[in-house]
């Protein structure tokens, strides 16, 4: 106990603490100043985004498999720990050799600035918050290490420092802890203040609220009765916006004013086209139910959602631009630098690919692409569903690579046929007797014509399909099972509209989507 206490109070430990306090100052001052600059330019957001951009496919896969849609929280926790360790080391170095420590802090500042200014849509001036933060952090580190030097109870204190200390009033550990505590509290206040100020200065959420949506020229076909699974507890057929899965590389959601939004359609086209948001409002809008699916969705996973989208058909936009012969791909790019490669013909056929401006009767939620995103039936999101879209380049697969393709994922991504069990849950304990099994299946653009359930490696039995709204939406199912006590294994598979049975070949999400049959174990009591 005494040993631990003396260790925690050792100069090295206190110097490490000083380093962490200084790092908190760097980050919080940058956060406070950052309220007046582009949101993506604060150190944590910029560093995290740079890290994401260097994420190899296996790591993205691992992060989503392990943390699901909490992958961003996990990233921030990991970054926080890394920064704390680095800052601790720098604090110890600065205590022994100030010049070296200061150089280390400046180097870290430079790394952050580099990561800030290389973000898409960030201006050079956006480096200022990091500069302010680094200077403030240096000052605080200097003050705290000086104070440490003036605590003269350690024989191992650097000799020259101890001598210097005699010129000034000696300090105590207690005073040092007070100073660090005040620094930490001030940092928390500055960071919170920066957050609140940033939110208050941004009026995007309000602008979204007051946006008036036009009526579609072509309303969505009525959803037939009975699309919902007969089994209680299956996911709602329409996914409420708040429950819709969110997958993107954006650590800070792009904030785009509809007045500033513009879409440029260019590349291999006869006529370059520029569209404003008002142009979209004035266009002939369509409305369509479309199920989106993420390529990272594991077998049985929940990275899929179904919504009613309102937007301008992409075939109309492309008609205005008139693609040249030889073009076979459209590279869509978001305001924050993400891109997706979509086959040109998919955007020209009659499948309701669109520039969407509304989701389930509301303007797009900020996290789902406000003000404009792409929605393309039949393709995984990473090659089609660009949120915050601002640029369409008509090009060729041979000439351009999209964001995830550059990182080892496929260049094309048609959605694979998938059946999912939602009730009962895997490893559930259920009572013997009638058990309602139920779930959702999808094979967008082909449709689902059959779902089968297999109990304990017995014969495949047909489930009851719920009504089909269209081939571009998911389809629910249910199955009544007379459950007998004991452990049981359930497997499920779907057949698509072309008659093809879902493959039992297991594949990982990388590079073009998971496959295989979901299988789960239940205990009947
Ligand atoms: N700008 C941008 N758009 C993006 C992404 C992204 O990282 N950035 N991710 C894509 C992926 S991988 C998927 S699965 C869908 C998810 O859309 P959602 O978050 O609205 O469900 O968005 C797509 N559009
Ligand atoms: Mo995705």
Q: What is the CATH number of the domain that holds 494?
A: 2.60.40.650
Whether residues 196 and 246 share a domain: the answer is no
**In a mutational test of the pocket of ligand 1, which residue from 53, 387, 512 has the highest number of ligand atoms less than 8 Å from its CB?**
387
Whether residues 422 and 369 share a domain: the answer is no
Q: How far apart are CA 276 and CA 283, in angstroms?
A: 11
- Find all residues with CB under 8 Å of 324, minimum gap 6, and list them: 268, 269, 270, 394
Q: How far apart are CA 467 and CA 451, in angstroms?
A: 13
| % of the chain at pLDDT higher than 90 | 88
Whether residues 41 and 165 share a domain: the answer is yes
Q: How far apart are CA 470 and CA 89, in angstroms?
A: 59
- Rounded distance from Cα 83 to ligand 1 centre (Å): 28
Whether residues 388 and 452 share a domain: the answer is no
Q: Using the atom order of ligand 1, give the atom closest to the CA of residue 248.
A: 7
**In a mutational test of the pocket of ligand 1, which residue from 239, 378, 385 has the highest number of ligand atoms less than 8 Å from its CB?**
385
Residue 225 lies in a domain: no
> Which parts of 241-313 are beta strand (E)?
262-267, 273-276, 286-293, 304-313
Residue 449 lies in a domain: yes
Q: Do the Cβ atoms of 181 and 233 come closer than 8 Å?
A: no
Whether residues 316 and 422 share a domain: the answer is no
Q: How far apart are CA 468 and CA 465, in angstroms?
A: 8
- Rounded distance from Cα 420 to ligand 2 centre (Å): 18
Residue 220 lies in a domain: no
Whether residues 81 and 154 share a domain: the answer is yes
Q: What is the CATH number of the domain that holds 278?
A: 3.90.420.10
Q: Which helix (H) or strand (E) holds 2?
A: helix 2-8
pLDDT at position 187, please? 98
Whether residues 181 and 71 share a domain: the answer is yes
Ligand with the closest atom to the CA of 121 = 1
- Rounded distance from Cα 40 to ligand 1 centre (Å): 18
Residue 398 lies in a domain: yes
Residue 218 lies in a domain: no
Q: Which helix (H) or strand (E) holds 118?
A: none
Lowest-confidence pick of 153-162, 368-377, 430-439: 153-162
Query: Which pLDDT tens digit goes with each residue over 395-417?
Result: 999 999 999 999 999 999 999 99
Whether residues 398 and 498 share a domain: the answer is no
Residue 496 lies in a domain: yes
Whether residues 255 and 368 share a domain: the answer is yes
**pLDDT confidence band for 437 (50 / 70 / 90):** very high
As for ligand 1, residues whose beta carbon falls within 6 Å of it are 244-250, 292, 294, 305, 334, 338, 368, 381-382, 385-388
Ligand with the closest atom to the CA of 403 = 1
Residue with the larger pLDDT of the pair 160 and 325: 325
Query: Which pLDDT tens digit goes with each residue over 201-259?
Result: 888 999 999 999 999 999 999 999 999 999 999 999 999 999 999 999 999 999 999 99
- Find all residues with CB under 8 Å of 121, minimum gap 6, and list them: 38, 40, 254, 335, 336, 337
Q: Using the 3D structure, point to which of 153, 171, 201 is the last residue of a domain.
A: 201
Residue 58 lies in a domain: yes
Q: Using the 3D structure, point to which of 351, 380, 407 is the last residue of a domain.
A: 407
Whether residues 32 and 90 share a domain: the answer is yes
**In a mutational test of the pocket of ligand 1, which residue from 55, 244, 245, 247 has the highest number of ligand atoms less than 8 Å from its CB?**
247
- Rounded distance from Cα 170 to ligand 2 centre (Å): 59
Q: Using the atom order of ligand 1, give the atom closest to the CA of residue 293.
A: 14
Q: Do the Cβ atoms of 396 and 268 come closer than 8 Å?
A: yes
CA distances from 365 to 246, 336, 338 (A): 11, 16, 18
Residue 165 confidence (pLDDT) above 80: no
Residue 156 confidence (pLDDT) above 70: no
Whether residues 146 and 175 share a domain: the answer is yes
- Rounded distance from Cα 473 to ligand 1 centre (Å): 18
**pLDDT confidence band for 170 (50 / 70 / 90):** confident
Total domains in the chain come to 3
Query: Which pLDDT tens digit goes with each residue over 2-40?
Result: 566 677 778 899 999 999 999 999 999 999 999 999 888
Rg (CA), the chain: 28
Residue 210 lies in a domain: no
- Supply the DSSP symbol for 32: H
Residue 199 confidence (pLDDT) above 90: no
- What's the mean pLDDT in 50-58? 90
Whether residues 145 and 261 share a domain: the answer is no
Q: Which residue has the tokens 């296996």?
A: 58
Q: Using the 3D structure, point to which of 407, 431, 448 is the last residue of a domain.
A: 407
Domain extent for 302: 241-407
Residue 298, CA atoms < 13 Å, CB-side half-sphere? 13
Residue with the larger pLDDT of the pair 57 and 336: 336
Q: Using the atom order of ligand 1, give the atom closest to the CA of residue 247.
A: 19
Collapsing DSSP states into helix, strand and coil, what is residue 189? Answer: helix
């Amino acid at each position: 106990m005494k040993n631990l206490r003396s260790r925690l109070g050792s100069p090295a430990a206190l110097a490490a603490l000083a380093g962490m306090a200084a790092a908190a100052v760097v980050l919080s001052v940058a956060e406070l100043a950052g309220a007046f600059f582009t949101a993506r330019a604060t150190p944590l957001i910029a560093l995290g985004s740079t890290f994401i951009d260097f994420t190899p496919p296996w790591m993205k896969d691992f992060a989503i498999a392990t943390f699901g849609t909490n992958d961003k929280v996990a990233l921030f926790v990991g970054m926080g720990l890394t920064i704390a360790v680095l800052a601790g080391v720098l604090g110890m170095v600065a205590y022994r050799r100030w010049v070296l420590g200061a150089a280390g802090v400046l180097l870290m500042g430079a790394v952050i600035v580099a990561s800030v200014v290389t973000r898409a849509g960030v201006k050079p001036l956006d480096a200022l918050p990091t500069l302010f933060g680094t200077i403030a952090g240096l000052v605080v580190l200097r003050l705290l290490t000086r104070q440490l030097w003036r605590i003269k109870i350690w024989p191992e204190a650097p000799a020259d420092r101890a001598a210097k200390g005699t010129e000034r009033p000696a300090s105590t550990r207690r005073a040092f802890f007070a100073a660090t505590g005040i620094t930490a509290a001030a940092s928390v206040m500055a960071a919170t203040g920066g957050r609140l100020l940033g939110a208050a200065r941004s009026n995007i959420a309000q602008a979204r609220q007051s946006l008036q949506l036009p009526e579609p020229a072509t309303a969505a076909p009525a959803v037939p009765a009975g699309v919902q699974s007969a089994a209680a507890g299956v996911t709602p057929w329409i996914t409420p916006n708040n429950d819709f899965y969110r997958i993107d590389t954006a650590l800070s959601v792009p904030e785009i004013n509809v007045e500033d939004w513009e879409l440029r359609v260019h590349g291999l086209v006869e006529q370059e086209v520029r569209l404003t948001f008002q142009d979209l409002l004035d266009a002939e809008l369509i409305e369509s139910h479309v199920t989106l699916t993420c390529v990272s969705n594991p077998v049985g996973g929940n990275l899929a959602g179904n919504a009613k989208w309102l937007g301008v058909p992409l075939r109309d936009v492309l008609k205005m631009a008139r693609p040249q012969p030889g073009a076979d791909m459209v590279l869509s790019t978001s305001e924050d630098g993400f891109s997706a490669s979509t086959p040109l013909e998919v955007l020209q056929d009659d499948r309701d690919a669109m520039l969407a401006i509304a989701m389930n009767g509301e303007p797009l939620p900020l996290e789902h692409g406000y003000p404009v995103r792409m929605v393309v039936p039949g393709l995984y999101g990473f090659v089609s569903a660009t949120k915050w879209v601002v640029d369409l380049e008509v090009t060729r697969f041979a000439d351009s690579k999209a964001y995830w393709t550059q990182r080892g994922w496929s260049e094309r991504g048609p959605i694979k046929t998938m059946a999912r069990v939602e009730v009962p849950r895997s490893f559930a304990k259920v009572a013997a007797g009638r058990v309602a099994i139920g779930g959702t299946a999808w094979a967008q653009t082909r449709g689902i014509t059959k779902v089968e359930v297999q109990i304990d490696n017995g014969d495949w039995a047909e489930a009851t399909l719920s009504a089909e709204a269209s081939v571009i939406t998911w389809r629910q199912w249910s199955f009544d099972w007379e459950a007998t006590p004991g452990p049981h294994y359930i497997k499920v598979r779907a057949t698509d509209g072309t008659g093809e049975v879902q493959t039992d070949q297991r594949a990982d999400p990388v590079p073009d989507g998971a496959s295989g049959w979901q299988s789960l174990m239940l205990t009947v009591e």
